Amino acid sequence: MNDMNNFNNGEFSGTSNPQIPQYPVPSPKPPRKSHTTAKVAALLAGVLIVGGGAGFGGTYLANRARSTAVVSSPNDTSKPAKTDNDDTHTSGTPTLDEMQKDIVSTQHTVTSNVEYKTDGTYMYTRDLVNAVRDSVVYIETFVNYRGQRQQYGAASGVIISKDGYIVTNNHVVEGSTEFTVKVSDTDPDTGVVSQETYDATLCGTDADTDLAVLKIEASDLPAAKLGDSDSLRLGDDVIAVGNPLGYESSVTKGIISGLNRQVSDSQRGLTAIQTDTPINSGNSGGALFNTYGEVIGIVNEKRVDSYAESLGFAITINEAKGVINDLIDKGYVSGRAILGITYLGINETAAAYRGEIAGWQVTKIDQDMAVANSDLVVGDTIVKLDGKSVFEDDIMNIFSEKKPGDTVTVTVIRTNQLGHEKEMDIEVELSEYKGD
């Protein structure tokens, strides 16, 4: 996953920029010299000679030459009356004005100077942008470095309530201790933008879904309307609003390129919307809007690869809603099961080299969780969970499929003081994960 938040840190991953083929560039042609006066004089001389005995042909050319001479003369401001013999339009083909005069513009419904299509979507992107742009904010993050407040990153966020709740990405705020939010107010008539900056507090974060919620003390903010991402179809028009590379309130446009994409490394990650809308560093946490002006995704990722381009992703808003509610209400995502231990993973190669047992070597047991009441002890090496090897690629799915209060069978190998090893099964009750 490529984090989009810090345009100073250059966190895009992927292969380096491919070599661009070099093609021979033709030398520019020298500019053509102006010989208007000489050409007209030569043409007149030639026509006069031919016209002396050339009949109609000579006369036509002479008239044409005179007309050309008059038009070409910079000192002659007179405009001869247009006649049927004037060859400025002799082909019989109608002029552009003539072709356009019978074409009637498409009729639209107009409400308060904003035009809508019959399905209620915005007719013009400019009206859509004007309606939603102020609901996307500019976020700056800070850390304390050697006793001084230093900017750590900058990205985007979406106002989701008039009283100041703002959703963004976890990777935008991760590692930072202070946050500011810049809110814009655009005059609808003049387009003049005024801004106000607020200090923000962090309500909660969730690394699995890459979501976070900030809160500022304000009222009557231009909150965005959350839409229905389940209603999206391939090819739907969308726009992204954010602050790429610090360029505030930037807008890009594209379509829905894919749905239900699994791009998170976490088993608990949410599905994503794929779009060809240009996404860049600093767009993270911004909004992907449909043509109704509703948020249908929270922008969080761009894939960078030498063999691909225009691969942007946004977290589906329908799945994000539950996470956002929990982060506001509890500060963490509820209902997630956790074993409650800290362990050191030792693979088979390392185990053979060090003379140890391959598996999860328990280094700490959280005394505030149910695991503390089990027979599991520090020093045990977990080799299986519910009969499945801990080295299976999808072993973490066991926790994603269980709830707090459920039990899991933990198979461990315990070594006593004499070096004797014993394998045993221990039933452990799972606790609720409440964040870091």
Point out the residues that are catalytic. Answer: 171, 210, 284
The beta-carbon contacts of 32-38 under 8 Å, at least 24 apart in sequence, are 36/72, 37/72
Name the token pair of 72. Answer: 């070409």
Under a CB-based contact definition with an 8 Å cutoff, are residues 402 and 431 in contact?
A: no
Pick from 359, 317, 126, 293: nearest CA to 211: 317
Distance CA 50, CA 42 (A): 12
Pick from 307, 294, 381: nearest CA to 341: 381
CB neighbour class for 160 (10 Å; exposed up to 12, middle 13-18, buried from 19):
buried
Give the total residue count for the chain.
Answer: 436
Beta strands 237-242 and 250-261 are antiparallel
Distance CA 243, CA 315 (A): 18
Distance CA 380, CA 396 (A): 19
In eight-state DSSP terms, residue 265 is: S
Under a CB-based contact definition with an 8 Å cutoff, are residues 209 and 269 in contact?
A: yes
Under a CB-based contact definition with an 8 Å cutoff, are residues 314 and 273 in contact?
A: yes
Q: Tell me the Cα Rg of the chain.
A: 35
